[in-house]
């Protein structure tokens, strides 16, 4: 799966933004659902400003 453009994620606590370019986003193939190949991207980190736990899960089928 190829990503174009950019994702911008913001911390819900302090508003710090994080930009994800296609080079930083890695979709991994998962099991098929209803015959369609699915891909998932997981990212887990703590905000560098306020240490808020941030978890991103994006699934495309």
Q: What is the CATH number of the domain that holds 50?
A: 2.20.25
32, 39 contact by CB (below 8 A): no
Q: Is residue 2 assigned to a domain? A: no
* Residue 54, pLDDT score: 96
45, 52 contact by CB (below 8 A): no
Is residue 1's pLDDT more than 80?
no
Q: Is residue 25 assigned to a domain? A: yes
Return the biggest CA–CA distance within the chain: 43
pTM, to two decimals = 0.74
* Structural domain for 41, as ranges: 7-60
Q: What is the pLDDT of residues 18-56, one digit of tens each?
A: 999 888 888 999 987 788 889 999 999 999 999 999 999
Q: Is residue 46 assigned to a domain? A: yes
16, 47 contact by CB (below 8 A): yes
Q: Is residue 1 assigned to a domain? A: no
* Residue 34, pLDDT score: 82
Considering its fold, how many domains does the chain have in total? 1
* Residue 44, pLDDT score: 96
The better pLDDT of the pair 1, 29 is held by 29
């Amino acid at each position: 799966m190829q990503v174009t453009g950019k994702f911008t994620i913001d911390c819900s606590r302090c508003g710090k933004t994080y930009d994800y370019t296609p080079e930083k986003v890695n979709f991994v193939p998962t099991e098929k659902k209803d015959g369609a190949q699915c891909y998932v991207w997981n990212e887990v980190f703590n905000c560098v400003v306020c240490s808020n736990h941030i978890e991103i899960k994006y699934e495309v089928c």
